[in-house]
Structure 1
Amino acid sequence: MNQAEKQFPDNARTTRTHAGESIRDARNWPGLVLCAVGLVLVAATLTAAGYGFAGWAVIAGVACVLCLVVGVWLVVAEHRRVKENDLALHEPRDH
Structure 2
Amino acid sequence: MSDSTASETFHSKPGDSLADPYNIPGILLFMAGVVGLASTLTAAGYGYGGWTALGAGATAVCFIASITVFVVEHERLRRLARRR
- TM-score after normalising by structure 1: 0.70
**Which of 32, 51, 63 is equivalent to 2:27?**
32
Larger Rg: 1
Q: Which has the higher contact order (CA 8 A, sep 6+)?
A: 2
Post-superposition shift, 1:88? 8.7
What are the ranges of 5 or more consecutive residues in structure 1 without an aligned counterpart? 1-15, 90-95
More helix by share: 2
Post-superposition shift, 1:20? 2.4
Structure 1 stretches of 4+ moved >4 Å: none
Give the structure 2 partner of residue 13 of structure 1.
none
Identical aligned residues as a percent: 38
Post-superposition shift, 1:60? 0.7
RMSD between superposed Cα atoms in Å: 2.0
Post-superposition shift, 1:33? 0.4
- TM-score after normalising by structure 2: 0.78
Give the structure 1 partner of residue 39 of structure 2.
44
